[in-house]
Amino acid sequence: MSRRSTAKKRTLSSDPIYNSKIITMLTARLLKNGKKSLAQKIIYKSLEIIKEKTNNEPMETLEKAIRNATPLVEVKARRIGGSTYQVPMEVRAYRGTNLALNWITKFAIARTGKNISIKLANEIIDSSKESGNTIRKKEETHRMAEANKAFAHYRY
């Protein structure tokens, strides 16, 4: 067990335009080399693209995408008696949202295309429609947890 004190949870400030903490979290995931304003521009541009393509509120689409991509269970490696087991565990709400945002940004960057804001917008739209790589990753995580359900009694 670690003897260090646990890190205190920092409060997030909401973004200036949409007044949303989710966009601040997404900005942190997209951030490279400390260029926060550039990351925010990319996100706002992708939200505009979402508005043009879907003809509905981009924040609702983003929230729906995150809700669809949030996993309920995940597996964690636990070492017991010399062997390592993949133990299924429930995901807390904050961690689930973080995982969903990480997957959305990761698969948006991996998409083919030139412009990152278009790729991010397409990934968010796909996730809100329950398709795309992000949803596949969530389903894969759920399948792993289902396959290792026998080790659920090793939960801490």
What the chain holds in terms of domains, given with CATH numbers, is 21-154 (1.10.455.10)
What pLDDT score was predicted for residue 153? 85
Cα distance between residue 61 and residue 57, in whole Å: 7
Which residues make beta-bridge pairs with 36? none
CB of 124 closer than 8 Å to CB of 46 = yes
Whether the model clears a pTM of 0.85, i.e. scores above it, the answer is yes
Helices (H) and strands (E) in the chain, counts: 6, 2
3-state SS class at 114: coil
Cα distance between residue 133 and residue 107, in whole Å: 6
For tokens 């505009």, name the residue: 48
- Answer yes or no: is pLDDT of 45 > 90: yes
CB of 58 closer than 8 Å to CB of 73 = no
Per-residue pLDDT tens for 65-76?
999 999 999 999
What pLDDT score was predicted for residue 122? 95
Phi, psi of 94 (to 5 degrees): -65, -45
Cα distance between residue 156 and residue 145, in whole Å: 16
What pLDDT score was predicted for residue 12? 87
What pLDDT score was predicted for residue 1? 63
Cα distance between residue 18 and residue 39, in whole Å: 15
What pLDDT score was predicted for residue 154? 81
- Mean pLDDT, residues 25-42: 93
Q: What mean pLDDT, rounded, does the chain reach?
A: 92
- A 10 A CB-CB count for 2 gives 5
